[in-house]
Structure 1
């Protein structure tokens, strides 16, 4: 069995990324499509609409979520003094089961929601999402300009855990691969923060570790904390003077996989931590990313906090690579 066949055993929920109440959403909409792809999530322009007297949040495809009575207010007026429906950011903040990041209620027109079926799963302001993936490029991580301590996941991205995805690399997309890089750095930060446990990471070509200054710095810092660090890839050039175990090979699991898996010392387990801290959840319970290049520059995979999935991926890599 290969990692691609192993990945086929996992499935995940279908989710939608919804832009709410933007007066000119097309540029942001296009950017979200280019970032998240068109497989795991459907990116649509959402509005608060009136349906038989009970306004509901819709995603443009007829899917309903939280009622406007729960999520919206009509205490907003337009330039002509007429009341207009608007989402109330404080309602999201009060829903403990709906993670939300954002500080300024005035940014509500820049809100991006993640929906699963008819439920709002998470919310992020465009600013939070932009700082993480929309308004940056991979050079931020490759050069080390963004340090490990600065890597965090907006709620809309962390809410994509366990959702299977298909993403495209350059030149098909300039942005989608950045999502994999961001999640990878988050997992590396969890290992670095923990300072123990095991981190397993693949690079396709091991020369990338020394070619990318930011990547080299990350793995120097992680290994120096005492994390048992394992690196996998084609041995075109082995990294020098790095306290890590090197696993080299040239079969498809080495050439076509992208994984970053952190296993805490006591093994992956459900972490009952601060619900607002994905980092604590990853440090305490484990977190992993697995993606496979199914055709040139096309990646299929998922990332997860699920203890069983993290255990199974870690065990497969440990036994087969």
Structure 2
């Protein structure tokens, strides 16, 4: 069995990214499409037209999902109470969003709420992020921020909309098909590396396709120096085109598809993956205490399929496969 076949055993919820933006929404929508792709996570425009005035923002988007589980729905959160000319425009009831403590949400400034991105599962709001929060993480940056080490490891965090994509399978495209989609994988990878570095123990397993990338990318080299120096049992995987030197890590080299076509970053705490107890609402605490992992496979040139997860069973299974087979 290969990692690609192993990945086929996982499935996840179908979710959509909805932009509710009253100030020049088209560029934002195009940016979201280019960032999140159009596969399992579909990007739709949350604006409403006259004919949709009495409908929630996601109606008619063609997004299939499970029956409502009793959480916050688009109808409760988004109304058409604000009118811009002849066109009804969405109005966010911020108080409703804040009352739902079970819905992760970035931002408290009412001005920021004018430009909101929602993560939906069916008609239920899973998470919300302001455009500013999402922009600082992935929309308004490029991969050089991480490759060069310009963004310190301690500053890497996940906006709620990205955090809410855990366990949702995805297909992302690299350059030149997309300038942005691969950045999601890089951002999530750095977050997992930050969790391992902050924990200072446990095991981190990371693949690089080509091991030369570790020394070629200054930011990547610095991250793994810092992680391994804390005492984390660090394992690196890839094709041995050039082995990293002077790095306190175990190198696993090979040239079969699991080495050439996979992208994984898996952190396992010393006591094994388990749900976080001290602050289960904090993504960083969840990763440090319970473990977190990313697994993606290049199914065709520059096309990646995968998922990332805090789920203890999934983290255990991915870690166990890598430990036994690579």
TM-score with structure 1 length normalisation? Answer: 0.93
> Does the C-alpha gap of structure 1 residues 49 and 88 become closer, same or farther in structure 2, counting only changes over 3 Å?
farther
1:239-291 per-residue CA deviation (whole Å, 9 max, x = no partner) reads 00000000000000000000000000000011234354101111000000000
For the residues of structure 2 that align with 1:165 and 1:63, how far apart are their CA atoms? 15
1:281 maps to 286
TM-score with structure 2 length normalisation? Answer: 0.92
RMSD: 2.4
For the residues of structure 2 that align with 1:52 and 1:179, how far apart are their CA atoms? 32
For the residues of structure 1 that align with 2:317 and 2:230, how far apart are their CA atoms? 25
Q: Are the equivalent residues in 2 in contact too, given 1:57–1:66 (CA < 8 A)?
A: no
Runs of 4+ in 1 over 4 A off after TM superposition: 48-55, 62-69, 72-80, 82-85
Q: Are the equivalent residues in 2 in contact too, given 1:48–1:86 (CA < 8 A)?
A: no
1:22-73 per-residue CA deviation (whole Å, 9 max, x = no partner) reads 3431111111111111112110111367899965332542669955773246
Structure 1's unaligned 5+ residue stretches are none
1:119-170 per-residue CA deviation (whole Å, 9 max, x = no partner) reads 1000000000000000000000000000110100000000000000010111
Q: Does 1:67 align with 2:64?
A: no
Q: Structure 2 matches for 1:1-321, cutoff 5 A?
A: 1-47=1-47, 55-58=55-58, 60-61=60-61, 66=72, 70-72=76-78, 86-321=91-326
> Does the C-alpha gap of structure 1 residues 63 and 34 become closer, same or farther in structure 2, counting only changes over 3 Å?
closer
> Does the C-alpha gap of structure 1 residues 169 and 89 become closer, same or farther in structure 2, counting only changes over 3 Å?
same
Q: Are the equivalent residues in 2 in contact too, given 1:228–1:244 (CA < 8 A)?
A: yes
For the residues of structure 2 that align with 1:53 and 1:133, how far apart are their CA atoms? 32
Q: Are the equivalent residues in 2 in contact too, given 1:207–1:238 (CA < 8 A)?
A: yes
Count residues in correspondence. Answer: 320
Q: Are the equivalent residues in 2 in contact too, given 1:73–1:85 (CA < 8 A)?
A: yes
> Does the C-alpha gap of structure 1 residues 176 and 156 become closer, same or farther in structure 2, counting only changes over 3 Å?
same
Structure 2's unaligned 5+ residue stretches are 65-70
